[in-house]
């Protein structure tokens, strides 16, 4: 019986796993220079963390959650995103007490949404994000947006556009909602079923509709910017000018509402510019300000701002830009023993070389030297270290450069030192070759 992967899931291995590791470590670096600590929360949470009373209008919570009853009869949900769980954790662990605010956390891990799988859209995907909780000024919103932008620069993804909007304060949103209701009342009969539901629960959500015919109608809808209070406008403008000061140009997009209901105030998204031959995978990341979320999950009245990147989408663009860098990943040395006794002895030789920091792979079975050398090449090893009976007797080994095919005989006693200089020479040669390639 063949068991298939669950629809919308994917496995990450070999070269892709290196790419994911690399992306994550760069993102962690950028979060760390902003003094963020890591937070890890469970994948499963009580469903009512996400469905907080009536009035919830987001597709993510309404239609896309993996919710089930556990053996104890509790309603459990696989997290569709991490922010709510982090708020729950801040409350459960009273992390806000005696802490200098804002709390600054970064996180990473899988999320689950029952969406229609397509390019850049999975049912299980990874997010990396940052949350600042206990924020008191536009400076923190601007810092988070800048953090995300720097993260993309550190990944070498320079063709990025940042879109920003403000959902305003409560009064602005109330006025805007009414204006939208009035406008859409004339069109709602012709719009999709989702929009009809959104019209009843939260007309702001209609702006996020992807149906082409509906977008035509949305184009002429009232703009949030005309309904923002003076305070909300000033806040947004402060964020925009702070970012400008550090060279980050943002584009105001009046229809940007984000996919979750808890956002208030400033919201933003990062998009890669269209790259020839690449699918448009949607936003690489996004986030915004949330004034009430911590309170809604039982915590104090502290505001927060956060962002999340989808690692799959970053990896898709990153692979296109840097993928070739990962083509030659392999061991420094492939250690070849030509009979069983030597293979057994190589066990401790490999151990010694690994303790010096070399990446070592080796053969576990007797095979011909030709086939083992072929294997070493297949594994992308830089060198093969060949030890046969004759070498063993003389206390020497043959080290073969698998790129230049040159071979040197090395005293076993000096091995670690010689390998060190061989690797340095090899890297210098690689740099030269790369330079010639560019020319």
The residue ranges that bind ligand AMP (CB under 6 A) are 81, 113, 115, 120-122, 125, 127, 258-259, 283-286, 308-310, 312-313
Name the residue nearer to ligand AMP (CB basis): 111 or 336. Answer: 111
Give 108 or 113: the residue with its C-beta nearer to ligand AMP.
Answer: 113
Closest by CA to 313, choosing from 136, 130, 119, 146, is 119
What is the maximum alpha-carbon separation in the chain?
Answer: 93
Structure tokens at 282: 């949607």
What is the rounded CA–CA span in Å between residue 372 and residue 385? 11
Complex with ligand AMP: residue 114 or 183, whichever CB lies closer: 114
Query: What are the DSSP E strand ranges found in 175-265?
Result: 250-252
| Shortest spacing between CB 132 and ligand AMP, in angstroms | 16
Q: How far is the CB of 226 from ligand AMP (least distance, A)?
A: 25
Give the CA-trace dihedral at 41, 46, 51, 54, to 10 degrees: -140
Question: How far apart are CB 87 and ligand AMP at their closest, in Å?
Answer: 14
| Shortest reach from residue 320's CB to ligand AMP, in Å | 16
**Nearest approach, Cβ of 35 to ligand AMP (angstroms)?**
23
Cβ proximity to ligand AMP: between 191 and 256 the closer is 256
Q: Which residue is it, tokens 């919710």?
A: 67
Considering beta carbons, is residue 286 or 337 the nearer one to ligand AMP? 286
Residue 173 in tokens:
């949103």
Cα–Cα distance, 76 to 66 (Å, whole number) = 8
Looking at beta carbons only, is 310 or 331 nearer to ligand AMP? 310
DSSP-assigned states of every residue in 20-34: HHHHHHHHHHHHHTT
| CB contact at 8 A, 60 and 80 | yes
Q: Residue 89 and residue 37: Cα distance in Å, rounded?
A: 14
For the CB of residue 268, give the shortest distance to ligand AMP in the complex, in Å: 10
> Nearer to ligand AMP by C-beta: 313 or 396?
313
Shortest approach of ligand AMP to residue 385 CB, angstroms? 43
> Cα separation of 129 and 81, whole Å?
10
Nearest distance, CB of residue 400 and ligand AMP, angstroms: 44
d(CA 82, CA 40): 9
- The residues near 317 (Cβ < 8 Å, ≥ 6 apart) are 157, 272, 275, 278, 281, 284
CB atoms within 10 A of CB 14: 10
| Residue (of 252, 245, 281) closest to 268 by Cα position | 252
Judge contact between 262 and 290, C-beta under 8 A: yes
What's the closest the beta carbon of residue 82 comes to ligand AMP, in angstroms?
A: 8
CB of 27 to ligand AMP, least distance (A): 12
Which residues pair with residue 103 across a beta bridge?
Answer: 133
| C-beta nearest to ligand AMP: residue | 310
Q: Residue 123 or residue 396: which is nearer to ligand AMP going by CB?
A: 123
Query: Residue 439 to residues 270, 428, 432, 436: CA-CA distances in angstroms?
Result: 33, 17, 11, 5
Q: For residue 109, say if its preceding peptide bond is cis, omega within 30 degrees of 0.
A: no
- Residue closer to ligand AMP (CB basis): 109 or 388: 109
In whole angstroms, the minimum distance from the beta carbon of 342 to ligand AMP comes to: 49
Closest to ligand AMP by CB, 22 vs 361, is 22
Q: How many angstroms separate the CA atoms of 400 and 412, rounded?
A: 15
285 in helix, strand or coil? Answer: strand
Indicate the residue among 102 and 286 with the shorter CB distance to ligand AMP. Answer: 286
Nearer to ligand AMP, 307 or 386 (CB): 307
The CA distances from residue 388 to 137, 152, 176, 337, 360, in Å, are 70, 50, 80, 6, 18
CB of 119 to ligand AMP, least distance (A): 10
| Cβ atoms of residues 268 and 287 within 8 Å | yes
């Amino acid at each position: 019986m063949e068991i298939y992967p669950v629809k919308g899931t994917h496995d990450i291995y070999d070269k892709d796993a290196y790419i994911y590791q690399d992306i994550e470590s760069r993102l962690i670096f950028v979060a760390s220079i902003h003094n963020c600590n890591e937070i890890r929360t469970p994948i499963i949470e009580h469903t009512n963390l996400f469905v907080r009373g009536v009035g919830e209008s987001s597709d993510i919570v309404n239609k896309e959650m993996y919710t089930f009853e556990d053996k104890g009869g509790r309603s459990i949900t696989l997290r569709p995103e991490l922010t709510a769980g982090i708020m729950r954790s801040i409350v459960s662990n009273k992390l806000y007490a005696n802490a200098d605010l804002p709390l600054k956390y970064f996180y990473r891990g899988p999320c689950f949404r029952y969406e229609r799988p397509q390019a850049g859209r999975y049912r299980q995907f990874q997010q990396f994000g940052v949350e600042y909780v206990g924020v008191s000024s536009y400076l923190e919103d601007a810092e988070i947006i800048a953090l995300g932008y720097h993260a993309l620069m550190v990944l070498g993804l320079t063709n990025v556009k940042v879109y920003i909007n403000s959902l305003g304060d409560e009064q602005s949103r109330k006025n805007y909602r009414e204006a939208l209701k009035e406008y859409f009342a004339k069109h709602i009969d012709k719009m999709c079923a989702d929009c009809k539901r959104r019209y009843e629960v939260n007309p702001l959500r209609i702006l996020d509709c992807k149906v082409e015919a509906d977008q035509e109608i949305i184009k002429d809808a009232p703009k949030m910017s005309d309904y923002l209070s003076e305070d909300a406008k000033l806040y947004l403008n402060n964020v925009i000018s702070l970012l400008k000061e550090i060279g980050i140009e943002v584009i105001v997009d009046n229809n940007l509402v984000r996919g979750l209901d808890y956002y208030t105030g400033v919201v933003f998204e990062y998009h890669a510019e269209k790259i020839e031959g690449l699918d448009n995978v949607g936003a690489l990341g996004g986030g915004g300000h949330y004034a009430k979320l911590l309170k809604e999950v039982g915590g104090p009245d502290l505001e927060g701002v956060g962002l999340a990147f989808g690692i799959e989408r970053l990896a898709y663009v990153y692979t296109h830009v840097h993928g070739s860098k990962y083509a030659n990943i392999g061991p420094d040395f492939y250690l070849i023993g030509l009979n069983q006794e030597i293979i057994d002895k190589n066990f401790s030789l490999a151990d010694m070389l690994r303790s010096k920091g070399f990446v070592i792979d080796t053969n576990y079975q007797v095979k011909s030297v030709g086939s083992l050398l072929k294997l070493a090449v297949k594994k992308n090893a830089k060198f093969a270290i060949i030890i046969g009976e004759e070498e063993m007797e003389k206390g020497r080994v043959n080290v073969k450069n698998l790129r230049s095919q040159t071979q040197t005989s090395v005293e076993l006693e000096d091995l670690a030192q010689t390998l060190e200089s061989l690797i340095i020479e090899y890297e210098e040669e690689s740099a030269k070759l790369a330079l010639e390639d560019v020319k």
